[in-house]
Amino acid sequence: MPDVAIASSWKEKLHAEFEKEYFLNLVEFLKTEKASGQVIYPQGKLIFNAFEHCSFDDTKVVIIGQDPYHGAGQANGLCFSVADGIKVPPSLVNIFKEIQEDLGKPVPKSGNLERWAAQGVLLLNATLTVRAGQAGSHQNKGWEQFTDAVIRVLNEQKKNLVYLLWGSYAQKKGAIVDTSNNLVLTAKHPSPMAANYGGWFGNKHFSQANAYLKSQGLAEIEW
């Protein structure tokens, strides 16, 4: 079994995945990429950053993205998030605009969403690595199977979670979630291409998420 550098609370829940053939093949693929000189984002220590900042027990909200950012210095292991000092990407700009409209909060200067993760928001990309400058280059290598397992274990072992599924890809990936035990909110993707055609702005997902958490006796997220 490979020694996967993932937070202990998640390692306990997902250890069986690390022994499966698809995951072993994924590890070999990543080793080959590195050996061939490919630059991979995010850097190795940040690949499982979403799990590091949001433990299994603390998870209250799940946001599903697709791929890490493929520009230099952007990806920090949390979907939609970028490191401090990096220009806020267009999709995140639209997320912040919706929060401002929904909750009246000012738009943050930083696109680093670690502060959300610390409050129990699991910011999960379907694919956890990417080649520099090549969007989607690590899709269909095994990551999707692994992140499906993450969603499955959450669905089987936790309830009263909020799932924010933005765009058709996230909605398909989250289709296994039991809607009778969790709040599942869907909208168009916040990317300008999708959001500008309607279906993103005005979704009020952030106030709805907080209202649901409050109804379950849980602390609201400071979005």
In the annotation, is 67 catalytic? yes
CB burial class (10 A; 0-12, 13-18, 19+) of residue 85? exposed
Given 67, 84, 148, 178, the catalytic residue? 67
Q: Residue 44, class by beta-carbon neighbours within 10 Å (0-12 exposed, 13-18 middle, 19+ buried)? A: exposed
Residue 205, both tokens: 């997902």
Cα–Cα separations (whole angstroms), residue 217 to 30, 113, 115, 210, 223: 42, 24, 21, 11, 18
Element (H, E) at 52: helix 49-53
Cα–Cα distance list, 180 to 122, 163, 208, 210, 215 (Å) = 20, 12, 16, 18, 15
* Residues belonging to the active site: 67
